[in-house]
Amino acid sequence: MKICKFVHEGRARFGVLEDARTVRALQGSPFEGDMTLGDERWPLGSLTLLVPSVERPRIFGIGLNYRAHILETGRTLPEIPSVFMKPDTSLLAPGRPIVYPRESTVVHYEAELVAVVGRRARHVPLEHALDHVLGYTCGNDVSERTIQRQEMAMGLMTVGKAFDSFAPVGPFIETSVDPSALRLRGRLNGAVVQDCDTSDLLFGVDALVAYLSRSITLMPGDLIMTGTPGGVGPLRPGDIFEVEIDGIGTLANPVVAQEADA
């Protein structure tokens, strides 16, 4: 099942993709356990899609989580996940523009699988971790590298990941895929620049949920960006970056320069 969130008559609604062109309403929110189908239907192309989550979810990022990417950098495999957080103000809906900051010279794309928490999770054992995941969507962990490198030299990783619009997520939450066997591709202006399989994840979604829930109560709507494979590179104003994950869909966002008074 593919779940989306959209604007209808001035308010946010949830629905499911009934076929490739039609969205059927949900009566309530999947994050409140209400998956009851309504009678209303709309053409998908007529809807403005939103980030498919609660209004202000927490965003957990994971660094260095694809084995091949870690090894190609010359690093050793980490023993625990490398976790950072992005603010909810960095969230960006499908089709909306990534804003390239005025002061930046190096901004990179990072195509990622995103796990969407569906049930409260605390001290969850590995074997039950996926029971707390509603489903999976596409994400782009956009990063300002100059600031990120300065922060990492001090053992930090926050502001370089945190600019407004630096967390595009969507368009659909797919509830019935295996997160350990998905092909992920990143395309820059139509050219494939990242291509891998999630079987290469060092810490899978189950391990990430179990690890985070040891110390943090995960709540419905929380987003876990599971890390990016090799092939990351620069974005420029005028670019379009797409994240495609088989069985889930394609997230596409243009890049625009920040306006002088913004």
Return per-residue pLDDT of the chain as tens, 262 residues. Answer: 999 999 999 999 999 999 989 999 999 999 999 999 999 999 999 999 999 999 999 999 999 999 988 988 888 999 999 999 999 999 999 999 999 999 899 999 999 999 999 999 999 999 999 999 999 999 999 999 999 999 999 998 999 999 999 999 999 999 999 999 999 999 999 999 999 999 999 999 999 999 999 999 999 999 999 999 999 999 999 999 999 999 999 999 999 999 876 6
Per-residue pLDDT at 259: 87
Chain centre to alpha carbon of residue 113: 6
Tracing tokens 């889930």 back to the chain, one arrives at: 248
Per-residue pLDDT at 262: 61
Tracing tokens 């509603």 back to the chain, one arrives at: 134
Per-residue pLDDT at 63: 94
> Quick one: what percent of the chain has pLDDT higher than 90?
93
Chain centre to alpha carbon of residue 82: 16
The CA-based angle 71-115-107, given to 5 degrees, is 55
Parallel, antiparallel, or unpaired for β 240-245 and 91-92?
unpaired
Domains of the chain, earliest start first: 2-50 (2.30.30.370), 59-257 (3.90.850.10)
Q: What is the DSSP string of 8-47?
A: ETTEEEEEEEEETTEEEEESS-GGGT---EEEEEEEGGGS
Per-residue pLDDT at 74: 85
Q: Are 24 and 15 in contact (CB under 8 A)?
A: yes
Please, which residues have CB within 8 angstroms of residue 235's CB and are 6 or more apart in sequence?
Answer: 98, 100, 107, 108, 109, 142, 188, 241, 255
Per-residue pLDDT at 261: 67
Per-residue pLDDT at 69: 86
Fill in the DSSP letter of residue 242: E
Say how far apart CA 166 and CA 99 lie, in whole Å. Answer: 8
Among residues 166, 187, 188, 191, which one has the least CA distance to residue 91?
A: 166
Q: Are 137 and 175 in contact (CB under 8 A)?
A: no
Per-residue pLDDT at 71: 86
Per-residue pLDDT at 78: 93
